[in-house]
Chains A and B, each alone.
Chain A
Amino acid sequence: MPDQSNHPALRPGKDEVKFFINGREVVGKKGETIITVAAREGVYVPHYCWHPALSVAGNCRLCLVEIHTPNPKDPTAKPLPAPKPVIGCQTPISPGMHVYTESALTKDCQNGMMEFLLANHPLDCPVCDRGGECMLQRYSMDYGHGHARMVDKKRKFLKPSADPLIDIERNRCIMCTRCVRFNDEVAGDHVMGVFDRGEGNYIGTFGQGPISNIFSGNVIDICPVGCLTSKPFRFKARVWELLQTQSTSIWDASGAKVTHWTRNGKLYRTTPPSRKYHGTYTVNEDTEEFIDNVTRFGSDFSFHEDRWDESRVRVGSTLLPGAYSEALKQAAVGLAKAKLNHGPDALAVVVSPRATMEEGFLAGKFARNVIGTENVDWRLNVSAPDAVHTAITHADGDLEGGFDAVVLINGDFVHTTPTFASRVKEHARIFGRPIIQIGHYHDPYFAQHSKLRFHCAPGETAGALASLAKAVKGDAQAGNLLAKTFNVNAERIEALVAVMKAEHGRALILQNLQDMGGNYLADEVPAAIALKQSLGAAWRYLPVITDRNAFGLPLVGAEPTNKGEGFAAGKLVEQIESGRIRAVLAIGADPLANYPDQPRMLRALDSLEFFVVSDLFASEVTKRAHVFIAAASHLEKSGTYCDVEGNLARINDADPPRGGSRADWETIAGIATLIGSDKFAYKATEEVFREMIKTLAPDFQGSFKGLLLPGPRNDFSIADPGGARNRTPQYNPGDYRVDGAHFRSAGNEVEFAAKTPRAPRSVPAGQYLLAWGRHVQGADYHLDRASIANLLQIPPYVEVNPVDAEKLGAEHLDGGVLTVGEQSYAVEIRVKAGPAPGVIYMPLLAGRVLARYADAPIVSLEVVDSPATTEAAAH
């Protein structure tokens, strides 16, 4: 839950409530409940249904506590015991109240409730997958009865197989309804419910359908018992046998923290960070750090059979496996030769957007110091590199301390940066902050909390933002223009302007840098920044993008310093074709990922004089390399990532590099050293990090403890059968925040002038404009090699506005055929209020087949009457 200390309704001093827990005086805030204050004061009240991130249900009754309240007739007299115990999760604190969490009555209540909860629960922990991290197990030990008095037959349910990723075993359910509330409140999709009543009560989904949202995996963690378990992990291992490594998501640019659970070089599962609980590190079922399904289930791609863990050198037409050192030598020789023959600017270094900051830093240093070129970039998959650069270097917002209002510009935020989007929504939901959506696509994830929504045609957003800036300054004409663009009446515009003008402590403009159909970002980014600049200091600008390290790599010089001098990697093909680029060093970068004309890219790569690739898998790209260097995966190396808010987070190695592979930072340093530089003698990523941070923030005084010292941990209480030490670092949530400092690239202080709005485009009747965006699910060919990639990827679908759907005669989940130019795609039609009327939205998914257009292309959609059958794969 966001920090409530800033809540304006709470005035220090005045709203303080003094009361007693177990005889000790404590201070809480008006409106807080017993359980939250107790948790803060270090007094543990057992609970199942209460969860810090969810609304209060009050149905497990395990948090019953005895309370005594002051005598109203004589406040000095002994407090009166309440007629019956109260539930700590729902009872607000009151002045002078005495709470007893360990009294005989409280213990009796806990004991009794445990017996009730276990009445129908099977007592077969040895065959339950939750064993070892089950709260029912733990509370039975701590508060339970010891033996069962239940003689009647236990209730039994049929076991449905509803979801491909999550197993439901209803016999074990204790009806805490956490999963139901999670889906409703956090995931924003009331897809699970409590069905039937009384003894027949059970949880499930409508028609045994899947829990189809990107956060669904979190119900596994928040389920306190063995009812909801992970299908891919089920019965594969016991949790106490696994080695934990604290790390961060490599998919989600929100910077979600994770724990990788490994054994014998195999990744068993990825969860939100484990926390110390009763001396053990476990996925705390009270975790508020929800992660998306791609992070949870897609992190094991490095175990795919396509993995090349030996380096290879081209001999004739084949790539022959060989030693790493030999490959490195060949790479150094080839690159040096290319530089000698064609000059430094004939070489290019491209890094993956998922490269660590250390790798980006070394790539930049290598290109500049060793080669002598500015040709280094990470923006291979970005269609508007300049706009992305501008946006990222002007970002100054974060969610720390919350916000009073937020403007979302054009985008599918929940599929771009899932956890970040969930935090924005959580804040808006809990504190009732207004969300304003502007643009040709509104995120349906925020629909419930978006009081003000303004749809416009693709390409008109930049003009609208400019008018809005003027309207806020009091320009009536701009207001009228705005009403016309958004096709709403003047009152709505007045409401919008009122929110923008209101006194805010902190307000945010969030802009989505996914493509959104057509290259509009070049106009929209300056317009959004100009709007922010015109609104005053309370307003902050925060762009988001799917690429994990998009904010870290520019920071450490992994893109050309001067836009005019260098090159953006999207132009790689043109540069190769014109002969300006002769040799390429690709560090985990996939030039095909988002490039529409794949044969052209492959021809270009074929024509290269020298091509070095450091990567994990055999692919169309790596097969064309002259030297292939086996790279270590994210589980086998360490490094730093920067998230969209500018917080650093670290990935830690769970295993040594497989076979003959090496981490990319070692490879770059090795090649540089072989070419003859003496400035690349690093022994560990920490050394690179220190040098990097010195250039990044010379005056920085923060502590890097959490980032730098993930030392071995010896206090793991359950003996590790393998004898291996648990590698869980001393971990506090604040550690990775680096003392609250946010790292931001310095942008030039440019006053952005608003541009003239574009003229609206005329679309023939019956046709639509197509918008698209990159999803975190469609990340790239690494994700395609995750063991359950088929379940993570979504079927090709389009979103259609209800107005258009009615015209089309289309219903939700109908099948359809989308025609773009001469290409046709079979798609599933989803009727959502996301796209503006006249716009069809399509995520750019695994196929990555959509060509890039300068303007949103005009498309047609035809309804095929059979309903789509691919719903089960909708994850």
Chain B
Amino acid sequence: MAILKNRHDEIEKLCAKYPSRRSALLPVLWMVQEQEGWVSQDAMKEVAEIIGCTAAEVYEVVSFYTMYNQKPVGRHHIQFCHTLACAICGSHEAVGHIREKYGFDEGASISRDGKFSLVEVECIGACTEAPAMLVGETLYGNLTPERLDEVLNARN
């Protein structure tokens, strides 16, 4: 009981919303991710104990949904869309631009300074303003290299 130590009341409130405790698995995992940025193995074990299932069951859920990060993320987590519309409008170039300019090593998902992390995701439903990305929970569209720098520098 280390990661969610002080959030006992919130968890109980969540669990009370469902007929069985297991149903609260997704929201409890969200709580972990909001707090830590990602869901570690220790966190999964802890959630299993809270929910009353085994760690394997928690890992089944975490590994099924890509929205749960299984690796640590940077201070700003960028999810860049690479589905058709964004790809046509230059998402590959934009991703390359970010990787080069903001200090990502070859193949790394976190920048060297730990400020940014980057994953390419499937459609985020912003095809009208392709190419688009999410930084944390904020959507940015019509991204050109200049606009990208503007957005990211504001957070640098």
Contact = CB atoms under 8 A, between A and B. Distances in A.
Interface of A: 189-197, 205-207, 811-812
B56 interface: yes
Nearest to B62: A195
B41 interface: yes
Contact of B56 (A196, A205, A811): A205
B57 interface: yes
Contacts of B44: 206
A208 to B, nearest CB: 10
A189 B54 CA distance: 8
A195 B63 contact: yes
Nearest to B54: A190
Nearest to A194: B60
A185 to B, nearest CB: 13
Interface in B41-69: 41, 44-45, 49, 53-60, 63-64
B41 A193 contact: no
Contact of A197 (B55, B58, B64): B64
Contact of A206 (B1, B49, B54): B54
B25 to A, nearest CB: 13
Nearest to A811: B1
Given A206-B44, A206-B59, A207-B41, A196 B54 contact: no
B64 A191 contact: no
A190 B56 contact: yes
A304 to B, nearest CB: 36
B56 A192 contact: yes
A195 B54 contact: no
A368 B134 CA distance: 88
A191 B57 CA distance: 8
A196 B63 contact: yes
12 contacts: A189-B54, A191-B54, A193-B57, A193-B59, A193-B60, A194-B60, A195-B59, A196-B63, A197-B64, A206-B54, A811-B1, A812-B49
B63 A207 contact: no
A811 B57 CA distance: 20
Main secondary structure of the interface of B (DSSP, over half): helix
B120 to A, nearest CB: 16
Contacts of A190: 53-54, 56-57
Contacts of A812: 49
Given A190-B54, A193-B60, A197-B64, 18 more contacts: A189-B54, A190-B53, A190-B56, A190-B57, A191-B54, A191-B56, A192-B56, A193-B56, A193-B59, A195-B59, A195-B60, A196-B63, A196-B64, A197-B63, A206-B59, A207-B55, A207-B59, A811-B1
Nearest to A198: B64
Contacts of B58: 206
B56 A206 contact: yes
A206 B55 contact: yes
Nearest to B58: A206
Interface in B128-154: none
Contacts of A193: 56-57, 59-60
A197 B68 CA distance: 13
Contacts of B55: 206-207
Contacts of A207: 41, 55, 59
Could you say which interface size class chain B belongs to?
A: 10 to 19
Contacts of A189: 54
Contacts of B57: 190, 193
Among all A-B residue pairs, the 5 with the closest Cβ atoms: A193-B56, A206-B55, A193-B60, A206-B56, A195-B63
Nearest to B66: A197
A812 B60 CA distance: 21
B71 to A, nearest CB: 14
A206 B44 CA distance: 10
A512 to B, nearest CB: 26
Nearest to A831: B49
Select the residue from A191, A193, A811 with max chain B CB neighbours within 10 A. A193
A33 to B, nearest CB: 26
Nearest to A197: B64
A192 B63 CA distance: 14
Contacts of B56: 190-193, 205-206
Nearest to A196: B63
Contacts of A205: 56
Contacts of B63: 195-197
A220 to B, nearest CB: 19
Contacts of A197: 63-64
A434 to B, nearest CB: 19
Contacts of B53: 190
A191 B54 CA distance: 7
Nearest to B55: A206
A189 B44 CA distance: 17
Nearest to A192: B56
Contacts of B45: 206
Contacts of B41: 206-207
Select the residue from B1, B41, B45, B64 with max chain A CB neighbours within 10 A. B64
A318 to B, nearest CB: 56
A812 B1 CA distance: 11
Contacts of A191: 54, 56
Contacts of A195: 59-60, 63-64
A497 B127 CA distance: 65
A191 B56 CA distance: 6
A193 B55 CA distance: 9
Contacts of B60: 193-195
Nearest to A802: B49
A364 to B, nearest CB: 49
Contacts of A192: 56
Nearest to B53: A190
A31 B49 CA distance: 36
B61 to A, nearest CB: 9
Select the residue from A189, A190, A206 with max chain B CB neighbours within 10 A. A206
B21 to A, nearest CB: 13
A193 B61 CA distance: 10
A443 to B, nearest CB: 18
Select the residue from B44, B45, B58 with max chain A CB neighbours within 10 A. B45
B87 to A, nearest CB: 20
B2 to A, nearest CB: 10
A195 B41 CA distance: 14
Contacts of B1: 811
A196 B65 CA distance: 8
Nearest to B60: A193
A254 B71 CA distance: 47
A191 B48 CA distance: 12
Contacts of A196: 63-64
Contacts of B59: 193, 195, 206-207
Contacts of B64: 195-197
B53 to A, nearest CB: 7
Nearest to B65: A197
A207 B55 CA distance: 9
Select the residue from B41, B56, B63 with max chain A CB neighbours within 10 A. B56
Nearest to B2: A811
Nearest to B1: A811
A458 B75 CA distance: 55
A192 B56 CA distance: 6
Nearest to A813: B45
A158 to B, nearest CB: 15
A706 B16 CA distance: 57
A195 B63 CA distance: 6
A176 to B, nearest CB: 16
Nearest to B45: A206
A751 B49 CA distance: 47
A207 B60 CA distance: 12
A192 B60 CA distance: 9
A192 B45 CA distance: 14
Nearest to A207: B41
A14 B96 CA distance: 71
Nearest to B48: A206
A718 to B, nearest CB: 39
A811 B48 CA distance: 13
